[in-house]
Amino acid sequence: MSEPNSRPRTPTTKTPRHKEENGDCPEPSRTPALSGTVPRFPMGGRTQTDSARLLREAAKSVSHSEAEYLLTHLLKVPRHRLFLEAKVGTRVAARFRKLVSRAGKGEPVQYLVRSAPFHDFDVYVDRRVLIPRPETEELVARTLARIRIGRKPLIVDYGTGSGCIAIALARALPDARVTAVDTSKAALAVAAQNVASYCLEKRIRLAQAQSLEDRALSRLRGRLDLLVSNPPYVPTPRLARLDRTVQHEPRLALDGGPKGDNIVAMLLTHGPAFLRTGGLLAIEVDATHEAVVRRLAPDAEVERDLAGRIRYVFLKK
């Protein structure tokens, strides 16, 4: 649950997600979060509006990609269909303009449509959880490239939020058993919805805990193959200066304390005790945290993100 150093990736309409190993689980659509949230409107109607005109109007308030994304979700069609079926019914047009107005005032489009992309799948998001960022996708990719694990690895995702990291790891590692931890009961409710949508309830366990020292996690001490976290790491004084769209996201998912390193320091101090020999600790951090990492974990590897900023810490036991 990190500071949004880049804008959230604007979702695109993609092919449906794949079924998990449980063949009895119905295959959900690419964006299951929209079910019951954004009603299906007919394209027709007595009065119709040209889709290209709607998008041009919207471009005065939001980016073109955001406008296209909102309209594709309202119409439940892939992007190219916006122009093949150019006419939009009046009810859809009215709903679209309302959403564009809200987005233009700073509401994240991901919250407006209750969906955000992460790697090759989508997750439900609302104001209870942070919107996943590209930096966190990169954390997962780098972590998967590093780990060497055997049969039925044990993993903890600390600060799971929407559950995106836990789900990505469970999908990439079919034998893995993941415990997704968060301090927020509200965030865990969102994670539970996402876990269920991918039929991963048997492989991802949700747990509420205030720290690694919580009794809920005590049985995992010395057993983990991977402890991964994208914790709150924004220094408190910086919160007021964040982009207006970020002001809609939960403070609990952003605020890392006076220097932003409260949870980072806890993970570096107590995390290694939860790893088995050869286990990996992987954390996303703020660009200002290199000094605290070097002090608490001098053997850790610190890496920069694609923008050249200090962003990732990896410590092997």
Q: Residue 73: what pLDDT?
A: 87
Q: Are 203 and 180 in contact (CB under 8 A)?
A: no
Task: Report the C-alpha gap between 140 and 229 in whole angstroms.
Answer: 10
Domains and CATH numbers, the chain: 38-113 (1.10.8), 116-316 (3.40.50.150)
Q: Residue 11: what pLDDT?
A: 53
Q: Residue 38: what pLDDT?
A: 39
Helices 64-75, 90-104: crossing angle, 10 deg rounding = 140
Q: What is the pTM of this model?
A: 0.86
Q: Residue 5: what pLDDT?
A: 54
3-state secondary structure at position 219: helix
**Smallest Cα–Cα separation from 161: which of 233, 230, 256, 214?**
230
Mean pLDDT by 10 residues, the chain (317 residues): 57 43 49 39 53 89 91 84 75 92 94 94 96 97 89 94 98 96 98 98 97 93 97 96 93 96 97 96 97 97 96 97
Beta bridge partners of 156: 179, 227
Site of tokens 């990505």: 168
